[in-house]
């Protein structure tokens, strides 16, 4: 599908965004292995979360929708049943990387597969620690999916993360639920902590420090009710649109402002953007309303220590940097190369077509700001975040743009373009 995008005068209004996709995945997974009925309000409507739900349905868990509620009939840590065939995780890297930790504690064998894009994404980073825990996990040649997991006895380990990754950390913590003893994960830079927060909420024996988390196995989890806050990754596109388009002001309600995830807000403030959070609330995840207004922004240096907290927002940060005064340097962004596409390559290709000054040196990205981008023929490369970031760039460009393969937004935000249209003044 191709979409024509024309420049706009401004965007204004108040919106909500879909439930946080990362938190939604975890609610489905943990609810399925908890004892009793978990009721979750606001699970993200996305292809990825649907694949996680379908994976647990294939293993005997009752999951149904009742309006905004998702009702999960959990069967405890060892209540899953052997699936009748390979479990299809679609294009969901979160499902493929985190689910093996749970499967490692079951008494059956299961195979996880996915679509052709996911089969090209590396899985060695979960295979290595899970094998150290005694889990029999077999990857395709070179460490790629499909993954075959044979559940059994799980051993506790101390694991020092070579690269910050919430998905890898989560897989290890999930496996730790089934071990006899304490599993500890140590990080150089703290990655997002949604799994730790939710495991604690469901009653796990878990302790969290500044750069380490430990979990003791053998304790059953108890069903809970919870509400998923809005996804800050989805909100970031509207925030950036308001900042770069003159005369704009947008309010996004009830968004997750978890510190390990909301680095985008810190980056925006450092760049001089008029962005603030109001109506803050505490819960199992902190939330608030975000207000963004048009601003003149400046280039900054983003250190590699910040990357874990902004990894999903980097594509739209590239757009902001392209329209900011001076130079932006983003260090240590190599993790973007192993997403749904190589996002450094996809964003560089598109932004250069629009006249941006974008260069790459190893894992570092250098962007020199320009006064205006030009409309162009663009390509999503079948990547939802590349697609949405370039849609925002196109709104602020001189002239009409066309983006190829826009159906990819259904991976995380099926209603993205409709939500955007509701804010636009032409």
Pairing of strands 221-222, 10-16: unpaired
Q: What is the pTM of this model?
A: 0.90
pLDDT, greater one: 341 or 163: 163
Same domain, 358 and 395: yes
- Select which of 47, 193, 231, 312 is catalytic: 312
Same domain, 87 and 196: yes
| Mean pLDDT rounded to a whole number for the chain | 94
- Given this model, what pLDDT does residue 228 score? 96
Same domain, 131 and 70: yes
Q: How far apart are CA 312 and CA 231, in angstroms?
A: 11
Res. 308: pLDDT tops 90: no
- Given this model, what pLDDT does residue 325 score? 97
Same domain, 370 and 280: yes
Domain that holds residue 319: 2-19+229-425
What mean pLDDT comes out for the span 170-188? 97
- Given this model, what pLDDT does residue 338 score? 67
Same domain, 85 and 69: yes
Q: How confident is the model at residue 168 (pLDDT cuts 50, 70, 90)?
A: very high
28 near 63, Cβ under 8 Å?
yes
Same domain, 310 and 414: yes
Q: Is 398 a catalytic residue?
A: no
Q: Over the stretch 71-109, which tens digit does the pLDDT of each residue have?
A: 999 999 999 999 999 999 999 999 999 999 999 999 999
Same domain, 126 and 74: yes
Q: Over the stretch 360-369, which tens digit does the pLDDT of each residue have?
A: 998 899 999 9
Pairing of strands 287-293, 274-281: antiparallel
Number of domains within the chain: 2
What mean pLDDT comes out for the span 223-251? 96
Same domain, 248 and 194: no
Res. 9: pLDDT tops 70: yes
Same domain, 221 and 252: no
- Residue in 165, 160, 201, 159 with CA at minimum distance from that of residue 183: 159
Pairing of strands 62-66, 69-75: antiparallel
Same domain, 203 and 252: no
- Pair of tokens at residue 387: 């697609």
Three-class HEC string of 294-328 = CCCCECCEECHHHHHHHCCCHHHHHHHHHCCECEE
pLDDT-above-70 percentage for the chain: 99
What mean pLDDT comes out for the span 401-415? 93
Q: How confident is the model at residue 152 (pLDDT cuts 50, 70, 90)?
A: confident
- Given this model, what pLDDT does residue 262 score? 87
Same domain, 40 and 50: yes
Q: How far apart are CA 273 and CA 240, in angstroms?
A: 9
Please identify which residue in the block is written with the tokens 């207000």: 291
Final residue of a structural domain among 193, 212, 227:
227
Same domain, 87 and 205: yes
- Pair of tokens at residue 97: 């990387």
Instruction: Provide the CATH number for the domain around residue 411.
Output: 3.65.10.10
Final residue of a structural domain among 175, 194, 227:
227
What mean pLDDT comes out for the span 115-144? 93
């Amino acid at each position: 599908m191709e979409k024509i995008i024309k420049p706009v005068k401004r965007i204004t209004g108040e919106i909500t965004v879909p439930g946080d996709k990362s938190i939604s995945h975890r609610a489905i997974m943990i609810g399925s292995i908890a004892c009793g009925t978990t009721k979750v309000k606001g699970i993200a409507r996305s292809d990825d979360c649907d694949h996680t739900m379908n994976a647990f349905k294939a293993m005997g868990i009752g999951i149904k929708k009742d309006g905004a509620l998702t009702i999960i009939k959990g069967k405890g840590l060892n209540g899953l049943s052997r699936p009748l065939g390979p479990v299809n995780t679609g294009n969901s890297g979160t499902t493929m990387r985190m689910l093996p930790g749970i499967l490692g504690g079951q008494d059956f064998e299961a195979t996880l597969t996915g679509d052709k894009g996911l089969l090209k994404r590396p899985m060695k980073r979960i295979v290595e620690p899970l094998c150290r825990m005694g889990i029999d996990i077999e990857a395709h040649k070179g460490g790629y999916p499909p993954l075959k997991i044979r559940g059994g006895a799980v051993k506790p380990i101390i694991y020092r993360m070579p690269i910050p990754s919430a998905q890898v950390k989560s897989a290890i913590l999930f496996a730790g639920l089934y071990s006899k003893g304490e599993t500890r994960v140590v990080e150089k830079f703290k990655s997002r902590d949604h799994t730790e927060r939710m495991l604690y909420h469901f009653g796990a024996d878990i302790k969290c420090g500044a750069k380490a988390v430990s979990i003791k196995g053998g304790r059953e989890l108890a069903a809970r009710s919870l509400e998923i806050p809005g996804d800050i990754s989805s909100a970031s596109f509207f925030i950036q649109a308001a900042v770069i388009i003159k005369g704009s002001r947008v309010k996004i309600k009830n968004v997750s402002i978890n510190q390990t995830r909301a680095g985008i807000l810190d980056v925006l403030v450092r760049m001089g953007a008029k962005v603030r959070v109001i109506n803050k609330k505490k819960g199992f995840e902190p939330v608030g309303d975000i207000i963004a207004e048009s601003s003149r922004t400046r280039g900054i240096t983003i250190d590699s220590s910040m990357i874990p907290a902004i990894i999903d927002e980097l594509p739209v940060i590239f757009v902001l940097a392209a329209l900011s005064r001076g130079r932006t340097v983003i260090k240590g962004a190599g993790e973007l190369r192993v997403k749904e596409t190589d996002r450094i390559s996809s964003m560089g290709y598109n932004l250069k077509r629009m006249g941006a000054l974008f260069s790459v040196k190893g894992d570092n990205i250098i962007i020199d700001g320009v006064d205006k981008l030009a409309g162009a023929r663009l390509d999503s490369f079948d990547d939802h975040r590349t697609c949405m970031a370039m849609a925002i760039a196109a709104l602020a460009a001189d002239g009409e743009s066309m983006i190829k393969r826009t159906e990819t937004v259904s991976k995380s935000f099926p209603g993205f373009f409709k939500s955007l249209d509701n804010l636009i003044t032409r």
